[in-house]
Amino acid sequence: MSKIAAIIGGGVIGGGWAARFLLNGWDVRVFDPDPEAERKIGEVLDNARRSLPGLGNVALPDEGRLSFHAELAEAVSGADWIQESVPERLDLKQKVYAELEKYCDADAVIGSSTSGFKPSELQKGRGNGGQIVVAHPFNPVYLLPLAEVVTTAANSQQVIARAKEVISSIGMYPLHLKNEIDAHVADRFLEAVWREALWLVKDGIATTEEIDNAIRYGFGIRWAQMGLFDTYRVAGGEAGMKHFMAQFGPCLTSPWTKLMDVPEFTDELVDLIAGQSDAQSGHMSIREMERIRDDNLVGMMRALGANDWGTGALQNAHDKSLEGEAGLVSSIDDIADLSQPVLTQSRVVPLDWTDYNGHMTESRYLDAFAQSTDRLMAIIGCDAEYIASGGSYFTAETHIRHIDEVHAGHPIQIKTRVIMGAGKKMHLWHEMYEGDRLLATGEHMLLHVDLKTRRSAPPAAHIEANLVKLAAAHAALAAPDGLGRAIGAPR
C-alpha cells in the first residue's frame, strides 16, 4: 500500500480527514474547487499539528506530503483511499461518484463522510459500487477516533477488511454497521437530543447555555468514558442492568420528551436560538473555541489512557503500533548497539505539560524520566508479568537538572544509560533532548523490592544479567557531565 489518500471536498470534515491522514504519514491530495480551500485546510492543519501529536506517548510518523489539485483525475489516480466529503446533497454526491468511477484505481476504497445517506444510495447505478462505503467521522476528525463504517452486500469482505484496516492504522476506531439505516447510529442519538433541546428552548424551559451545562457537567462526561448502556448498568448498582431497567423502565411511558414531535423551524425559533448562542459564547472566535475544545479533548483522552479505558485504550494501542517506527524497543535483544544509550522515549510535549511560564512544567520532567525508567525496566525483563509475580524496582533517590526550556508541541527524546546494575541496585542516567539540544538530565537510584515483604531483595537472575550487560556496555562511554553532582555544586 502506497499510503496515498485523496480528499474530495476540503471543508471542516474534509480538512479534518486530510490532517488525520497527513499527520499519520500518508501523502494527501486534495480536490476542492473552492479558491479558499488551501487556506481553510491550512488553518485546520495548524490546529491539528498543535494538538494531535501530543495526544499520544509515541512520536507520530514523519508527516506526509500535502498537495492541491485542480483536476479530480489527478487527485485520485493511484490513491489507496478516497474520502468524499462534499455537501449533503445526494445528487451532488452521485455526480462525484460517477466521476470517480472513471478515474480511481480499481482497488481503491472510496469512503463517504455522509452523516445521513445510506451506502446503497451512494452505490446506486455505479459499476464500481462495491468500492464505496460510508466512513462517517466526527468533528474534529483529527482528534475524535470514531468512524462509522457502513457497508452493504455489494461490498466484498476484502473491501470491508481494507476499510477497517486503513481507519485503524490512522488511530481511529472503525465501528462496522452491517445493516444500513438513515443517519447510521451515532447521529440518530444526536438528532434525538437536538430535537428535545429545540423544544426546551422554544418552550422557555431552558436556555442554550443551561442545556449545554446539563450535558457537559453531567451525563456528557459519563457518556464520554463509558457510553450509554455501561453507564446505566453502573447506575443499577450491585443488582446491575436488570435493576436499573425495572426501576426506570416505567419512565419510558411518561410524557417526558417530544422526540417524535419536531418543532417547526420558524424564523422566531431560529433567532431565539441564535441569539442565546451568541450571548453564551459570542465573545470568542471560532478558532479560539476550537483550541479550547481541542485542549479539553486531549486532556480527557489522555486521562482515560492512564486507565487504559475507552478512547485512551485506543490511543495506547495506536502508540504501541508506532513504537518500532519511532525507534523504540521492548526487549534488550532488539537493541542494535548495546554500547550506546538506549532510546527510551520519543514523543511531543503535550498541551497539558506546560505551566504559567509557557514551558514544560517542573513536575513533567520527573514524569517523563519516570516513564523512561519504566521502559528501561520493561526492556530488561521487569515488565508487567514480572511485577505481577512479586518483584519490582522502587526509586530511592532522584536528581534532575533543568538545563533548557521546551514548549508544548516540541519533539523530545530521552536516552538512558545504565551506570550500575549489579545486585539490588539500578543506577540510571537519563538525558532529554530536543534534536541536539540538551534539555535536562535525570539521575536515579532504584532498589529491587520484594512486593510481598516491601523490602529490598535481589532481582531474578535474568533481570540482573540484562542490567549488568547494559552497564558493562555503557561503561565504555565517557562519564556524563553532572553524574553524582549535588545540588548547586560539582561533585
Task: Return the pLDDT at 287.
Answer: 85
Task: Return the pLDDT at 489.
Answer: 64
Query: Does 10 appear as a known binding residue?
Result: yes
Task: Give the domains, in start order, of the chain with CATH numbers.
Answer: 4-182 (3.40.50.720), 187-283 (1.10.1040.10), 327-474 (3.10.129.10)
Q: pLDDT tens across 417-451, in order? A: 999 999 999 999 999 999 999 999 999 999 999 99
Task: Return the pLDDT at 491.
Answer: 56
Task: Return the pLDDT at 135.
Answer: 98
Query: Does 14 appear as a known binding residue?
Result: yes
Task: Return the pLDDT at 151.
Answer: 98
Task: Return the pLDDT at 284.
Answer: 87
Query: Does 15 appear as a known binding residue?
Result: no
Task: Return the pLDDT at 315.
Answer: 94
Sequence letter at residue 235: A
Task: Return the pLDDT at 23.
Answer: 97
Q: In which residue ranges of the chain is pLDDT below 70?
A: 489-491
Task: Return the pLDDT at 257.
Answer: 79
Query: Does 12 appear as a known binding residue?
Result: yes
Task: Return the pLDDT at 490.
Answer: 60
Query: Does 125 appear as a known binding residue?
Result: no
Task: Return the pLDDT at 327.
Answer: 94
